[in-house]
Structure 1
Amino acid sequence: MERLNSKLFVENCYIMKENERLRKKAELLNQENQQLLFQLKQKLSKTKNSNNGSNNDNKSSSASGQS
């Protein structure tokens, strides 16, 4: 019985160590994901802003062409 107990204890220690390793990996992946999401939002914001500027220029030039 004690032998089985020792075996289960060692197995439990291994599982806890593996769990901690995976938790750290998940945390790093989450941080990377957050950074990529932030960069994507910045690019989309810049694209949206530059498109709005282009649209305003197009409206001004087409309006002046119609006069």
Structure 2
Amino acid sequence: MEKLNSKLYLENCYIMQENERLRKKAELLNQENQALLNELKQRLAEAAVTGNSIPDLNMSSSSAAATSKGSKSGKKSKK
């Protein structure tokens, strides 16, 4: 019985570590998503001011590109 408890305890510890890792990753993805959304809103607003009907979404601003590159080039997930 004690052996089973030890095994379950270690498994629970592993699950908690994995949960924390995934929570941090989700937080980074959310930050990246917010930066991209802000960039899109800014480009749409600029397009409305200049009279362009469709903004060029392929050109990236330095802030969103840096955010995107920073989160993607960070840690690779261990599976």
Query: Normalising by the residue count of structure 2, what TM-score does the alignment of the two structures yield?
Result: 0.64
**5+ long unaligned stretches in structure 1:** 53-67
**5+ long unaligned stretches in structure 2:** 53-79
DSSP 3-state at the match of 1:18: helix
Residue number in structure 2 paired with 1:36: 36
Structure showing greater Rg: 1
Q: Which has the higher helix share?
A: 1
Residue number in structure 2 paired with 1:9: 9
Give the 4+ runs in structure 1 shifted more than 4 A.
none
Give the length in aligned residue pairs.
52
Kindly report the root-mean-square deviation, in angstroms, between the aligned alpha carbons of the 2 structures: 1.1
Q: Percent identity?
A: 71
